[in-house]
């Protein structure tokens, strides 16, 4: 008994924010953003839309694509760094909006690596025989938490809002060379670099109060990043992790039909392709249109690739991600 991705869906808010729009806010330029990130535009929610709202829309599409009734879902795994509230987990809000019964709900906080961490968790729960259809969602609302002034331009230009979802279902494998299934996943972390990409506040580790005026004045409630260090570690760890999981799966990199990388920076993805000798035509990118939607980038990319006819049934997919923590992950699956 193995697991496979039986349904895929995504949802992007309708509001498009271009680099030219950001020029008015952050003292930046379209040329600067494109040269350093590859991003042309991103989507931002309106004031009344939450992370679970985006997740709901993507989930409905994934359920329809899987051709199952939502009542057949027996677990939700929700990956996000931008929850509706500190607690309870956003998965519970999604469960209620979907009208599901008393199913297992698990929220995970592995940031940009969240989808692949969730895929590995879903795969193992399916293989245990305890679950048959798991809804795995990556969803983010970044726009409400960005510093949209010149002070925050290095980070603020990177992020967009969106959601992607898949249904991970059980299947009996009779032919591993053609039948859809998840082959392998690999998960890693190194907390020594936790403060290279983080959100310092609110915090229970910085004094008597979770949130103070001093924290607000210093902008500690906005994301902080050492971009150079992130780039160096991301290219190295994604390359190593992906090469290892492909080999573990019994294949070579040349056997992979399409690569779905996390969409943090176009330069990172192209460098990973260069280091591994991957033909850039096999790397499917969406960052130019949607920016970095952290846990949602890979399922959004998968859905876009399917709709564009780039990802087809039977193809072998290689995926890798790197994010805050530092965390990183890779996976190989046949679609």
Contacts of 159 (CB under 8 A, 6+ apart): 42, 140, 142, 143, 146, 223, 291, 292, 293, 294
* Of 65, 262, 285, 304, catalytic: 262
Number of other CB atoms surrounding residue 71 within 10 Å: 12
Joined tokens for residue 253 = 């990199």
* Of 112, 133, 233, 265, catalytic: 112
Taking 3-state DSSP, the helix, strand and coil percentages for the chain, each rounded to the nearest 5, stand at 40, 25, 35
Q: Active-site residue 262, yes or no?
A: yes
> Nearest CA to 329 among 166, 169, 123?
123
> Nearest CA to 46 among 164, 163, 161?
161
β-bridge pairing 133-140 and 41-43: unpaired
Secondary structure in 3-state letters for 276-296: HCCCHHHECCCHHHHCECHHH
Q: Active-site residue 292, yes or no?
A: yes
- Any idea which residues carry the catalytic annotation? 112, 262, 292
């Amino acid at each position: 008994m193995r697991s496979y991705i039986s349904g895929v869906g995504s949802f992007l808010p309708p509001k498009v924010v271009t680099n030219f729009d950001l020029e008015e806010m952050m003292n930046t330029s379209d040329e600067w953003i494109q040269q350093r990130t590859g991003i042309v535009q991103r989507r931002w929610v309106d004031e009344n839309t939450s992370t679970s709202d985006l997740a709901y829309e993507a989930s409905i599409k994934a359920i329809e694509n899987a051709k199952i009734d939502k009542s057949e879902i027996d677990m939700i795994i929700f990956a996000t760094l931008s929850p509706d509230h500190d607690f309870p987990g956003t998965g519970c809000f999604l469960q209620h909006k979907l009208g599901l019964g008393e199913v297992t709900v698990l929220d995970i906080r592995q940031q940009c690596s969240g989808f692949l961490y969730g895929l590995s968790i879903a795969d193992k729960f399916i293989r245990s025989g305890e679950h048959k259809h798991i809804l795995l969602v990556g969803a983010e609302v970044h726009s409400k938490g960005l510093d949209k002034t010149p002070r925050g331009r290095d980070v603020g230009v990177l992020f967009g809002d969106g959601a992607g979802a898949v249904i991970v279902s059980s299947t009996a494998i009779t032919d591993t060379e053609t039948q859809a299934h998840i082959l392998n996943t690999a998960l890693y972390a190194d907390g020594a670099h936790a403060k290279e990409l983080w959100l310092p506040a609110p915090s229970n580790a910085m004094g008597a109060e979770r949130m103070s005026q001093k924290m607000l004045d210093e902008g500690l409630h906005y994301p902080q990043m050492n971009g150079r260090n992130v780039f160096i570690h991301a290219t190295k760890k994604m390359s190593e992790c992906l090469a290892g999981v492909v080999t573990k799966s019994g294949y070579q990199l040349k056997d992979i039909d399409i690569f779905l990388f996390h969409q943090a920076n176009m330069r990172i993805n192209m460098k990973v392709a260069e280091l591994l000798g991957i033909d850039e035509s096999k790397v499917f990118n969406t960052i130019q249109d949607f920016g970095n939607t952290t846990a949602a980038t890979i399922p959004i990319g998968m859905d876009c690739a399917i709709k564009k006819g780039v990802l087809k049934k039977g193809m072998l997919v290689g995926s890798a991600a790197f994010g805050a923590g530092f965390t990183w992950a890779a996976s190989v699956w046949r679609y």
